[in-house]
Structure 1
Amino acid sequence: MLVITGAAEPVAEIGSRPALVATDLPATTTTRAPVDLGGQTGGATVGALVIDRTTGRTVLADGADGSFHSQSLVKLLIAVDALERGTGTPSQITKMLSASDDGVASALWSQGGGGAIVTRWTRRLGLTGTAPPSEPGRWGQTKITATDVARIYRYLTDEAPPAHRDIVLTALRAAPRVAADGFDQHFGIPSAAAGLGWAVKQGWACCLPTRDLHTTGLVGPDDRYVVVLLTAHPRGVPWNTAAATATRLAENVLAPIRG
């Protein structure tokens, strides 16, 4: 089993991002089993979870309750909160989720009361490993687990108002290779799930103290699988290397889906 540790605050290293290359669930009773991720961690700590929404079965789980900083994954909570409270427009939500725009996220975070957003949705969804950041303005330091991220996706697919669901999932399906900050966000699921179809929210930041790359979303026909892969790499690992490792791990995580 992999050991999970805390991750970094949302500080990116502008000059060392991956090169742009031409590559392309309400809660259920599940059966959990540890999985060997094939020794592909490259020194990273990992939390992984795959749930089959059709059967309710946990296909894969490793370190799913380990704690990470959310980085941009908290934008999922910012989005559903803004839509429900009417503090964000569909165009703002789309820009924040698809291009992972931090400016929009910061504005909606403030309008929604900052950490109160996390508190509201932690209570509502029963998120046991999620907590607001200790520094109110640093939304990327929200604490999360793979289990809780999967629960957020299950809310989106099974419980959210259809209009809100459509706005969020349409944005996640349209995530471009180049994010608003110039980062190549097609590491992990977008590269590993070629041919399966995906809707993703990614997260990345460095370096207090680790280099984080998170890849999460819905994969397969009718969004059948919830896939969450959280990774925290030593800060000395270059972005390109960490992204390649996250993609290899995603390939292993998705292997049970491909059969």
Structure 2
Amino acid sequence: MAPTPPPAPATSAPLPPGVASRIAAAHDAAAARGADLAVALLDRSTGERFGTSDGDRVETASVAKLFIADAMLHQGAISAADRDRLARMLERSDDNAANELWIGHGGDAVIRDVAARYGLGATTPPWDGNWWNTETTADDLVDWYAGLLDGRGGLDRADADAILGHLRASTPLAADGYDQRFGVPDALPAQPPDEVAVKQGWMCCTDGRWVHLSTAVVGPDARYVLVVAARETVDYGDDSGHWAVRRHRDTDAAVVTDDADPESTSEEPIPLLPDTSIDSAADDASAAHARETMTEVVRILFPEGRIG
């Protein structure tokens, strides 16, 4: 773990009492909805850290775009076109912009560079060269944000402010139409919008599970860093009528059938899982359920609708 950053100005209230018990309650609530939860929370003014499962590794999905932005700004001499791509990548979570910047600024080397500069010991390049399969932990993401804010990672104040400015301008819908207000944005309505800098991540599926991350710097003085990540089993319920893939008993060939007709094959249905590498899944019911889990978790942590 990286050293505790220097204190932030104490112009906002401290964390409410009972945060640790609220995190435990959020963990239980997520489990009841079929999700494994990781939470990491830092008060930069006091240095207090709280978490649960915060050292568990998780795919970054679009949160890897933070690392791409950091690496390209650290390299310097950014073209106007790349600055436009950076804005689209962070504000609208534009995958096409991320693909171009990933290829143009080093691919896997981006992750190795950022992990080394910030001391992110659990953050590793993707196994397949695709930025969304970068792995990290909630704890490492908190350390990255803290290092960005205090300059420990090597970016100057102007570059750090540029990243945070784009995160504060995060749009309700991503470039592909996915709702990216889940988690922190929807759960903290009492927090002024200019006090929330957020980067969201989502992808499906890893071992039949949705991955969602809601990561943020919150407060007028960027006092708090919050990272929430969850892996949730894809579940449409018994009455969804969704299409499914079934295996024919004799040939093992994949047969697509209507779930409403259980007599169509002798095998139990295997859900036809969303694939966010080819489709946004913006209207997918299982995605909506997973987003609601993320929002409910943050509401449990901060029922007042704000931090501090």
Q: CA deviation at 1:221?
A: 2.1
Structure of higher CA gyration radius: 2
The Cα offsets for residues 51-104 of structure 1, whole Å up to 9 and x where unpaired, read as 00111111x210110010000011101001111213563322111101001111
State whether structure 2 residue 28 is matched by structure 1 residue 52. no
**Aligned partners of 1:50 and 1:253 also within 8 Å:** no
SS for the counterpart of 1:216 is strand
* Bigger relative contact order (CA 8 A; separation at least 6): 1
Q: TM-score, normalised by structure 2?
A: 0.71
Q: CA deviation at 1:250?
A: 1.2
Q: Which amino acid aligns with 2:3?
A: A
Q: TM-score, normalised by structure 1?
A: 0.83
Query: What's the counterpart of residue 113 of structure 1?
Result: 106
The Cα offsets for residues 85-136 of structure 1, whole Å up to 9 and x where unpaired, read as 1356332211110100111111111112211110111111111111001111
Given candidates 158, 177, 180, the residue that maps to 1:182 is 177
**Aligned partners of 1:133 and 1:142 also within 8 Å:** yes
Structure 1: stretches of 5+ with no match in the other structure: 1-24
State whether structure 2 residue 192 is matched by structure 1 residue 201. no
Structure 2: stretches of 5+ with no match in the other structure: 6-18, 237-285
* RMSD (Å), alpha carbons: 2.1
Q: Which amino acid aligns with 2:88?
A: K
Query: What's the counterpart of residue 36 of structure 1?
Result: 24
Give the Cα separation in 2 of the matches to 1:172 and 1:195: 18
SS for the counterpart of 2:73 is helix
Equivalent positions of 1:147-226 (< 5 A) are 147-159=139-151, 160-196=155-191, 197-209=195-207, 210-226=209-225
Query: What's the counterpart of residue 127 of structure 1?
Result: 120
Q: Which amino acid aligns with 2:203?
A: A
Q: Which amino acid aligns with 1:203?
A: G
User: Structure 1 residue runs of 4+, over 6 Å off?
Assistant: none
**Aligned partners of 1:51 and 1:57 also within 8 Å:** yes
**Aligned partners of 2:197 and 2:216 also within 8 Å:** yes
**Aligned partners of 1:48 and 1:253 also within 8 Å:** no
**Aligned partners of 1:94 and 1:167 also within 8 Å:** no
State whether structure 2 residue 85 is matched by structure 1 residue 92. yes
Q: CA deviation at 1:26?
A: 6.9
The Cα offsets for residues 17-39 of structure 1, whole Å up to 9 and x where unpaired, read as xxxxxxxx97318xx96741343
**Aligned partners of 2:212 and 2:231 also within 8 Å:** yes
Give the Cα separation in 2 of the matches to 1:94 and 1:153: 18
User: Identity over the aligned pairs, expressed in percent?
Assistant: 33
Query: What's the counterpart of residue 235 of structure 1?
Result: 234
Q: CA deviation at 1:258?
A: 4.4
Q: CA deviation at 1:208?
A: 2.8
Give the Cα separation in 1 of the matches to 2:84 and 2:105: 17
Q: Which amino acid aligns with 1:208?
A: T
**Aligned partners of 2:218 and 2:307 also within 8 Å:** no
